Every structure is written in C-alpha cells, then in structure tokens.
Amino acid sequence: MLAVAEGIVSPLARWESFYVIVGSSGAALTGLQFVVITLMSEGSRPTGPATIRAFGTPTIVHFCAVLLVSAIVSAPWTAVSNAGAALAACGLLGLAYALLVVRTASRQTIYKPVLEDWIWHGVLPIIAYASLLVASMVVRHQTAPALFAIGGSALLLLFIGIHNAWDAVTYVAIDRPENAKASKDQR
C-alpha cells in the first residue's frame, strides 16, 4: 500500500487495483498492435510512412501512455503533487503528439479520413490528453475529482486504442485478397 508518511495513506493507494488492470491491458494490447501492423504490411492496399504515423503509431503511443500513467500513479510518491507533475508532463507531451497526429493525418495522401477517423484519431485523444494535463495540474488542491479525471483519461486512451486497433484490423480484413476476389465474384 502506498503511504505518504507513517500512518497516513496516500489517496493514490485506493487506485492501485484500477491501474493494475488498466496498465496491464495497455501493455498487452501494445503487443497485439504489432500483429496488426504486420498484417497491414501484408495487405494489398498501399500504405506509406505518413499513413502509419497517422493511423498506426498513435495506437501504440496511446497504449504506452496508459501504461506510463498507470506506472506513475502506482509509484510510491511522497506527495500527490509530485505524481501530478509527472502526469502533467505526460498530458502535455500527449497533447502535443495528438495535435501532430491530426496534422499528419490531414497531410498524408494514401487514405482519406472520414468523420469517424477524425473523432477517434484526433478529437478524442486531444480530449484525453488535455483532461490528463488539467487534472494533473489541480490534483494537489482537488485530489479526489482530479484522480477520477486522470483515471477517466487513462481509460479513454485505452478505449481509443482498442477502437483504433479494431478499426485497423477490420480495414485489413476487408482488404484481404480472398475477400477482394469474393467481392468481385458477387458482382
């Protein structure tokens, strides 16, 4: 159990089980995303570095961010504000990265993103990282609500990653040569 001082329990201690589950999920799903990227490289549709940077790599980054947030919250901090500073750095870097992803997605030319792509690859990650940043900045004074917002941000990033990995898998599955042949045969 995390302790701030002798006999005083850190408010982070209550979140330990939550972050064990969320962090483990992020770590496991990171490994599965490597399989997705391998499948994408074997598909018949063209993919380029910019497309992978816009739609593949961010999923890995989101899963790793979940793992990192979980590790930070689970560390034996002597003060909640110290954890808040580390989480603020994650939120700030994540926000900058999410904005870069939006720019990359808008400039790549191989795949034309639809509204759902903009929401899941742009809007929701920006919301998650901005929430993480703001919550980590107020965690010292508004501890309980901020910890819920930090947990919600981590969970949102996990769900974003799951959605985007599934989206990539279905995109690849529809594109398999046998599916393309079956589609032509049905015409």
Domain positions in the chain are: 13-170
User: From CA 145, how far away is CA 124, in angstroms rounded?
Assistant: 20
109: its two tokens: 């030319």
Query: At which residue do the structure tokens 């279905």 appear?
Result: 170
Give the pLDDT confidence score for residue 31 in this predicted structure: 83
Give the pLDDT confidence score for residue 1 in this predicted structure: 39
Which pLDDT tens digit goes with each residue over 74-86?
998 888 999 999 9
Tally Cβ neighbours within 10 Å of residue 178.
7
Give the pLDDT confidence score for residue 132 in this predicted structure: 98
Which pLDDT tens digit goes with each residue over 33-59?
887 777 767 766 667 788 888 888 899
CA dihedral sign, ordered 87, 90, 96, 97: negative
Spans of the chain, pLDDT less than 70: 1-9, 40, 43-46, 175-187
pTM for this structure? 0.83
| Nearest alpha-carbon partner for 42 in 140, 187, 172, 170 | 172
